Chains A and B, each alone.
Chain A
């Protein structure tokens, strides 16, 4: 495959598409699929066939506002229809060329206006199982440009210049990581993609892997060229069977087109990727545990250093990045590091994809420039908390993150700002809670999660989270004392300071952040034996009722 051949494929796909007067794009991501998007697509195909109009019906990845699903977008007018079912197919096709079907039309301009799509630029526009669709939208152009026109250090320079930081949560500068692996000495190096999106409440990586799998492969191949790796692994959760199958198809197609394998684009560069399945262990998102799991062992972390960049898979220098990080690489190469650098806030560049869920009107995936105010995400893009309830907190960063209260919503989203607020960026889960959520109970939920997911290797995490859980259970049931609260705070600092890996070090965050902003709820449970949200079942002792 050469750049000319790539352009020929792109041109022929564009030509084919131009032969159609209308494109009907059906979102078939998990949320829409679970509401009958497949039957809808069949019905649309049937109606299109009999209509005599030139209509292309296309399956696409996640379009974003899942709570409005199943979604259909009709191009070239970009008319968005929501809550569409198979029964609507005929009306939609009949309406092509005329006024849109009013009853299905949805106005989500507010939702889309403040979004900037880099990672999700293809979501809703390509069939994830067709490599040619990806190529027609400039896919693999970055890889071939890199291979034919750039040196590995040139690629690293561009990534460094972009200011991209790791999207898995830690926010380590990507360019710096790449140059460390590039400088490491070894006859064999590996590139690993962390697709073990274990943070419950987050599904950005699933959507990217399912909706635009080639973007991840292209990012990995560019990374491999830059650091000098010959082999890659994508570690995907077994809970994401569709992602596994889409990636498998994508790998086969990429090999068939000569975009993976030996001597890519007639250059000396050879690279191929294998998929490795996770098996349900949150700790495997930690890089040393992930390495152990790829090697077929229990996913227990190891002390660092040595960092995987020096000694990773089978002791070889290994580059590990998250799905979303790789998904940013091709656009950075295509548009230049400066382009990316100019988006975002001072120390957090580019955009971030968030999975907006919980008590909010528009749930789904959103991509926003870094630095955007939380309030804008929640109220404008998310449409706010449904009527009748009031916003209480937004949880970011999953079990390693924290709860941010209403008074902090005017702070811009960045790695540093979230850290300062006692939370973390994390992989991008954003769960909105209203007055029906009890913050002590939420803290207990996360601690229970960390307790069951602790690998058991180090005592602060294994025993500490279990004791924290006992204390929180006691407080939730109304039998806790103020002494328990003191002990809980002390334990939090021990677990945070003394745990071996990120899981334990961050496990106290949900407790610490709720203690910081919602301490009164803890006190209510302990002193007044009352759960303000009415969630916890508190047995009121007889003497209190009397």
Chain B
């Protein structure tokens, strides 16, 4: 049986070593696909064609399967995130407490729909399916920091601060 040699790293960017580390830790097993994609996304911020190809080849997973996994799971993104990210929780408790109004206000302020980044690359607006801070609904996350009982004013102030940076 011919032995398998993993492909060379795409570049000498150190982050690839971290990605490779995850795969090595899992013995380059196929089932490490999602784990590895998580490492790519946490290292690079998003998944692009090159990284998906590299991971698929390294784990001997068909490219179609890797792409299928990337697009199936909401957590993975194919677009680079903006400098800042505003995430609005769209879970049930937040919805009952008016998250839809926050979403509409943020979309209007930024001029982009949720799931998109402003043209200047400054702010990405995303929705979360519950971050588990339901007792403080509605919840927004500013660059991952949870802010509970969020108001429209607070949120817009934050967006303004980001805009003038």
Tell me the A residues contacting B by CB distance below 8 Å. Answer: 30-31, 33-35, 66-67, 69, 197-203, 206-207, 238-240, 276-282, 293-299, 355-359, 363-365, 395, 398, 429, 431, 433, 437, 442, 445-446, 449, 453, 455
Q: Which of A206, A293, A437, A449 contacts B96 (CB 8 A)?
A: A437
Could you tell me the distance between the alpha carbons of A246 and B128 in the complex, rounded to whole angstroms? 22
Stretch of B11-19, B87-95, B106-114, B155-163 at the chain-chain interface: B87-95
A35-B148, A239-B132 are known contacts. Are A296 and B38 too (CB-CB below 8 A)?
A: no
Stretch of B1-9, B25-33, B116-124 at the chain-chain interface: B25-33
Contact with A along B70-110 (1 / 0, CB 8 A): 00111110000000000000111111110000000000000
Besides the contacts A296-B34, A445-B92, what 5 more A-B pairs have beta carbons closer than 8 Å? A31-B133, A198-B129, A276-B34, A279-B34, A294-B31
| Complex contacts, B131 vs chain A, CB 8 Å | 30, 239
A280 near B74: Cβ-Cβ < 8 Å: yes
A281-B73, A293-B34, A298-B68 are known contacts. Are A34 and B92 too (CB-CB below 8 A)?
A: no
A277-B35, A398-B92, A431-B92 are known contacts. Are A201 and B134 too (CB-CB below 8 A)?
A: yes
Chain B residues bordering chain A, tally (CB within 8 A): 39
The 10 closest A-B pairs by CB, nearest first: A200-B91, A66-B135, A279-B73, A280-B75, A200-B130, A280-B74, A201-B92, A203-B132, A296-B33, A363-B135
| Complex contacts, B72 vs chain A, CB 8 Å | 281, 298-299, 455
* 23 A-B residue pairings within 8 Å (CB atoms): A34-B145, A67-B135, A197-B132, A200-B91, A201-B91, A201-B92, A202-B134, A238-B38, A277-B34, A279-B74, A279-B75, A280-B74, A293-B34, A296-B61, A297-B33, A298-B68, A299-B72, A299-B73, A364-B135, A395-B92, A431-B92, A445-B92, A445-B95
Tell me the B residues contacting A by CB distance below 8 Å. Answer: 30-35, 37-38, 61, 65, 68-69, 72-76, 90-97, 128-137, 145-148
In the complex, the chain A residue whose C-beta lies closest to that of B95 is: A445
Could you tell me the distance between the alpha carbons of A364 and B130 in the complex, rounded to whole angstroms? 15
| Complex contacts, A398 vs chain B, CB 8 Å | 92
Query: Nearest-CB distance from A423 to chain B (Å)?
Result: 13
In the complex, the chain A residue whose C-beta lies closest to that of B36 is: A296
Could you tell me the distance between the alpha carbons of A286 and B45 in the complex, rounded to whole angstroms? 29
Could you tell me the distance between the alpha carbons of A282 and B130 in the complex, rounded to whole angstroms? 11
| Complex contacts, A240 vs chain B, CB 8 Å | 132
Q: Which of B32, B38, B93, B128 contacts A358 (CB 8 A)?
A: B93
Query: Nearest-CB distance from A123 to chain B (Å)?
Result: 14
Could you tell me the distance between the alpha carbons of A535 and B51 in the complex, rounded to whole angstroms? 45
